[in-house]
Structure 1
Amino acid sequence: MQPTSPGALTKVRQHQVGAEEAGQRIDNFLLRHFKNIPKSHVYKMLRSGEVRVNKGRVQATYRLLEGDVVRLPPVREQADSDKPLPKAPAGLQSSLETAILHEDNALLVLNKPSGLAVHGGSGLSFGVIETLRAARPDAPFLELVHRLDRETSGCLIVAKKRSALRGLHEQLREGQMDKHYLVLAKGAWKGGAQSVDLALRKNTLRSGERIVQAEAEGKAARTRFVPVQRFRRAALLRAELETGRTHQIRVHLQSIGHPVAGDDKYGDPEFNRELRELGLRRLFLHAAHLNFMHPVKGERVMVEAPLPEELQAVLQKLDGSSS
């Protein structure tokens, strides 16, 4: 049996940083550039000074500027391997491509299915972003603009240019992006719209589980809830986020006595059992609407993700409905 031949040794290259690459850390730039090189080797090249920016050494945290010249050292990239890189399931790739709600040269918005994480980790090889990159190997840039919980479905933005990523992040920081969710909450909803203004803090339990709680020492969080459809023992609400904290909608509703249907972390077990009898097998939380300024064209973009059929079916089975 012939031994596997090593990959070809690349030549030293001088790479000038363009506008789309500016702003990112040098280590992240190298990890994207040397896709088949072990991560540890990339950091070793930085520490040893093999990688240089403008002929000088830099730390891994250095952020590239437009016009910087990066020395890319010769490397022996992995060619054939007994353990090929894992590939995203073809069915998952095609399902995400068909879930795209809007796409242009700078970004795309897809209708993320419930049960799929936005990125890999914790035993998951592929999330949304890894699957998209596998489906589009020639795409120079694909990055998540924001996140959705694994069990939450709906609108998710992916940037195709670094300038778009920066622009959309600025809109998120400044509260200039409208994000509306549809959520089914326990109990009859009294009155009209209600705003919840409770600070949230992340905590880690003794078991290691991470949980978010309403605490005065936490980060400011505000959500406006508008009733959409009322039922005898539940209410369909539109949740309008004024901030974007982890588990914000779920914890805010729990705090006012209206936990989210199907929520195993913050929900009501008895209510969840009742809804399972009606066919609910997931968290009833859906990112239904996005409204933002296009970061390149300067035009308003509005995207709607229809409520999934399995959630519509649950609503049809609830009693005492009214508009």
Structure 2
Amino acid sequence: MSDLALSAAYDQIVAARTSPETRPCVRSFFDETTFTATHVVHDPRTRAAAIIDSVMNYDPASGRTSFHSAEQVVAYVRHEQLNVIWQLETHAHADHLSAAPWLKQQLGGRIGIGSDIVQVQQTFGAIFNAEPSFTRDGTQFDHLFTDGETFKLGDLPAIALHVPGHTPADMAFIIGDAAFIGDTLFMPDYGTARADFPGGSARTLYHSIRRLLSLPPQTRLFLCHDYKAPGRDQFAWETTVAAERENNIHVHDGISEDAFVSMRTARDATLSLPNLIMPSVQVNMRAGHLPAPENNGISYIKIPVNTL
């Protein structure tokens, strides 16, 4: 989608957003174990809702899963009498497991992700030597969004934007004046996401970030993670385009592409892999489902040795 087409589409989406009746309501749930913010966004008139970047709890020592984080989302949705239309994933996360299938069972909603998930499935399907039945065509998901695809959440117009760099398949979902941007940007005092996973690119990430920062200054940005920057005592996951453009320590206005790439590349070289990358990617590339049970009825998480 060209920047001109993006501007025209976005203008249509936000044309009526000044009224409380047309401004989406957002309630966020923060999982401190994985530092993940799950967002529930809904149309205040129709009560149509989307759940974005949900968390299935996983104990790496025992291999046991649970849903106490997602249960908070269920309680809120039922209390507010919301009608869940979408279970959205901004990308195949490497730091937490998705609860989308479980939430779909509880509340409904189609599981959606960007169409470039097929690249992630190809790459990690090979790395984990996935079972022959594991297809690499995105059919585990209910819908694959393309760049610039428009949709509605009740009466609220929305658009999906491809914002790769952290991974090849990252998407941002803009619903009214709210943009759910996954792992592209963090709070201004913390910076930006890493770009050293397979298929990632610091240069591509820079262009994706500048694309997001071309949205109107007052656009609300909802982030997928927060790690509390030094000197800040509270977790935070909501900011604005204006705040990021002025204050983001990695990519504020005036930071060149080459300077960003140099900084991001050097910083990424010092980072260890996320604690839950092995289970997370294997589950999330399957749309939140565990790997197929083996002949004893048990699902297994693989750990490739000396590979990642």
TM-score after normalising by structure 2: 0.25
Q: Which has the larger radius of gyration?
A: 1
| Structure (1/2) with the larger strand percentage | 1
Query: Highest relative contact order (Cα 8 Å, sep 6+), 1 or 2?
Result: 2
Q: Which has the higher helix share?
A: 2
